Amino acid sequence: MDKSSARRLQTINQIYKALICLISKNDFKQISIKMISKEAGVARGTFYHYFVDKYSLLDQLENILIDRVIQIFDEDPQKTTISFSNSPHSGAFYKMLEYLYQERETILILFDCDQSVLVQKIHNLIVKNILGDSCFEPVHTPAEHDVISYALAQELLAQNILSILKFWLTQPDVASPEIAYTIFLKSRTLSPIDLANIFNINLNVESTKIE
């Protein structure tokens, strides 16, 4: 990379970091280009050289996170199936968890931003790049006349993955990617009845503590 390209990349990264810093302290609607430029240490003209407005800046910042995850799956030559026998350190899904863990501070800030559509972009990524690549090892063969359609099954799976990712990343003490992967695999074996039983058992335990 030549010096000009390096300076350009450095400037863009400064602007990205400035936006994240400001979003963590302010409502997005209150953030101005002047504030972003000042925080980044660049002129307003420099900002407009790279971005149309603060909305395009936010969109591009989100896309950097999404594009990196897409790249992780594209670089996996075997599109490794998520199975219960996989080594937790192999495969694109685990590498995605590692990347999300690394970028968790930025992701959490964007989760809390009303103008961010990162959650929807992650949902679309799951549908297209995870479920679309059929990386799941079937747990059972569906009956010939199952009432659950493909579209509904896909959406239920997508929401399941998204819920686990959001719950994992928003915990005060975020578990390691390896633990998150183990929890995810375990959740694949649990039925709604199993989950209800776990909830009721823990609810009874908490009730006993209060008494």
Tell me, what's the pLDDT at 140? Answer: 55
Whole-model pTM over 0.75: yes
Positions in the chain short of pLDDT 50:
84
Tell me, what's the pLDDT at 204? Answer: 62
Distance, in Å, from the CA atom of 190 to the CA atom of 180, rounded to the nearest integer, reads: 16
Tell me, what's the pLDDT at 151? Answer: 85
Tell me, what's the pLDDT at 201? Answer: 81
pLDDT in tens, 12-68: 999 999 999 999 999 999 999 999 999 999 999 999 999 999 999 999 999 999 999
